[in-house]
Amino acid sequence: MTLNALLFQALNGLSSASGLFFIAAGLSLIFGVTRIVNIAHGSLYMLGTYIAYSLATKIGGAFGFWGGIVLTAIIVGVIGALIEIVLLRRIYRAPELFQLLATFALVLVINDATLWLWGPEDLLGPRAPGLAGAVEIFGRRLPSYDLFLIFVAPAVLIVLHFALAKTRFGRLIRAATQDREMVGALGVNQAVLFTSVFALGALLAGLGGALQVAREPANLATDLIAIGDAFVVVVVGGMGSITGAYLAAIIIAEVKALCIAIGVVDLGFMSVNFSKFTLVAEFIVMAIVLVTRPYGLLGKPQGMVRSVAEPEDPIRPATPMLKGLGAAVFILLLALPLLAQTSPYLMILAIDVLIAVIFATSLHFIMGPGGMHSFGHAAYFGLGAYGAALLVQLAGFPMLAALLAAPIIALLGALLFGWFAVRLSGVYLAMLTLAFAQIVWALVFQWESFTGGSNGVIGVWPSPPFDKSWVYYLLALALAVISVLLLRRFLFAPFGYAMRAGRDSALRAEAIGIDVKRIHWLGFAIAGCVCGIAGGLFAFAKGSISPEAISVGRSIDGLVMVLLGGIQTLVGPIVGASVYATLQDTVMRQTEYWRALLGLIILVLVLAFPQGIAGALSSLARKLGRKPGGAA
């Protein structure tokens, strides 16, 4: 690697930083004022690229391109305002988790809307009129458009900076970011302020997306990639700080560029291709910042305290009725293979449901009693699944040994990631866990020689006698029952109580000698470990594992299952997982637009049934005057 090559990559880094900055700045602004983390911000960015593409190709010429970019920003700003008015306004007072889920539902709906409008193909826009050439720099040719991008971001930063410092609107935004009560006291119409801020944030995302049109093709996967990067940038820069967002965008982009510039390095015993680990590098930067400055480089500690869902009832041991019900269900499930002779598909569905039950119950363990809203539980599922599959493929492990190793590998991952995650709470924790899951996903996706890249690992079939689906089903049933009972036991033991104590009042818990972080860390590890069982079972049930199966979608499935059943009840995740997995295998298979369908289900859930199925049933039982089975 020469110095010139390094400098050239650094310039490249600066131009990719501009896109990152636009999303992150909008995300940060919106969070500062409304305290909502808009996961759909990456989707607005993606929409920007698509709309700019259409304008540039339909209108054409310099006006179509440059005018199109401005017009796109305005259109996306209007879309943002509509989203705020129609949806977000209803959930400002809802628990954080619901807000995150609602904006995630938007991601799904927007993605399918984009698919419907523009189709599945990548769309490459025209070159920028007037900037189609390249300039010779450090002995290489840098597209002039990239050079232009390098200057756009700081220009917008300066404009924003002055707008925030000098205008009345800007002062309001700053006031609201620092102290929300004050805005009310100033007699400001809060609704108007929130809508305008959301529109401004959306406009920035749209502008960022539109500017990419001459650089990269519009692509349906952009939304999640962009939001993942933007999270990292916002966390590193500090929530609510625009200058921080710029600084962080540059740091992250430069670190990635550096990885690419370093390229393949021969370490003697093995050679490492650094350019394959850009995402991992990004994560390491974030981890370092979070450990040394938990609120980011330029962020300030925020008054993040907010009511966590509804107050929860004490947990009580299962009533005889519930125990009887559990036993009856278990016997029915044992007898299920007899039915399967007439409909073989039943076994496959039942195995999917059992895997979902383990997955959702382990997630609920940290989400409910632990109060840690992980948006990245797929990471531990993936570690279990890939761990088992690779041990079979590369080390010739027999099936049962691989199934045993799966939770151990997931445990190691959860111990590592959890150590960082428990240092944060609320939306910061949600974002960090999501980022970790994206790292695992990126690792298996980018590390082709080891994991098979996008093809995944195939040919992981169960060995006899488990090759018969009903035998495998019984194995899954046994593991599911053990997992559920074990986690339940933990929750009734001092450890589970301590986890809830730390969630209810960390201050009080510390004051009676409980090391809350340590307890939550161990809880996180236990949940990850049990989730690994689900991953291992999944790999053998499908005979393969691919990055697709461990993407962020799976994490969100888990959240939906837990909420569908009801986060405050211990049987909730079981009910939720069963209902959801069945729906997924039946209804959602029927349509190409299952994402939008799922998004709508989430929105209905968040807006209309915040207690979930089991929660609604138990409050119904209470209303009917019976003894509450609430926490059973």
Instruction: By CB under 8 A, name the binding residues for another protein.
Output: 311-315, 317, 489-490, 492-498, 500-501, 503-505, 507-515, 519, 522
Least distance CB 241 / another protein (angstroms): 20
Closer residue to another protein (CB): 261 or 525: 525
- 194 or 365: CB nearest another protein: 365
Q: Whole-number minimum distance, CB 355 to another protein, in Å?
A: 24
- Residue 380 in contact with residue 537, Cβ under 8 Å? no
Least distance from C-beta 315 to another protein, angstroms? 8
From residue 335, alpha-carbon distances to 347, 351, 470, 474, 483 in Å are 12, 14, 10, 10, 20
Query: CB 369 → another protein: shortest distance, Å?
Result: 8
Nearer to another protein, 463 or 505 (CB): 505
**Nearer CB in complex with another protein: 83/491:** 491
Q: How far is the CB of 317 from another protein (least distance, A)?
A: 7
**CB-wise, 515 or 592, nearer to another protein?**
515
Strands (DSSP E) contained in 379-526 are 457-458
Q: How far is the CB of 492 from another protein (least distance, A)?
A: 5
Least CB distance to another protein at residue 293 (A)? 18
Measured from the CB atom, the residue of 255 and 318 that comes closer to another protein is: 318
One-character DSSP codes across 513-557: T--HHHHHHHHHHHHHHHHHHHHHHHHHHHTEE-GGGGSHHHHHH
CB of 118 or CB of 419, closer to another protein: 419
Torsion-angle region of 459 (φ positive above 0: left; ψ -120 to 50: alpha; else: beta):
left
Are 117 and 47 a contacting pair, CB within 8 Å?
Answer: no
Among 297, 10, 7, 3, CA closest to 150: 10
Choice between 272 and 486, CB closer to another protein: 486
Residue 554 and residue 378 in contact, taking contact as beta carbons nearer than 8 Å: yes
Q: Residue 412's CB: how many other CB atoms inside 10 A?
A: 16
User: Residue 202: CB partners within 8 Å, gap ≥ 6?
Assistant: 26, 41, 44, 76, 77, 79, 80, 81, 83
| Helix (H) and strand (E) counts in the chain | 26, 6
CB of 370 to another protein, least distance (A): 12
For another protein, the closer CB: 91 or 522:
522
Q: In the complex with another protein, which residue's Cβ is closer, 523 or 599?
A: 523
Q: Evaluate whether 48 touches 208 at the Cβ level (below 8 Å).
A: yes
User: Which residue is listed with tokens 């089991």?
Assistant: 614
505, two tokens? 């009042």
Least Cα distance to 358 among 336, 393, 384 occurs for 384
Cβ atoms of 113 and 242 closer than 8 Å? no
Q: Residue 497 has which token pair? A: 């109580």
Nearest distance in Å: CB 500, another protein? 5
The residue type found at 454 is S
Tell the smallest beta-carbon distance from residue 518 to another protein (Å): 9
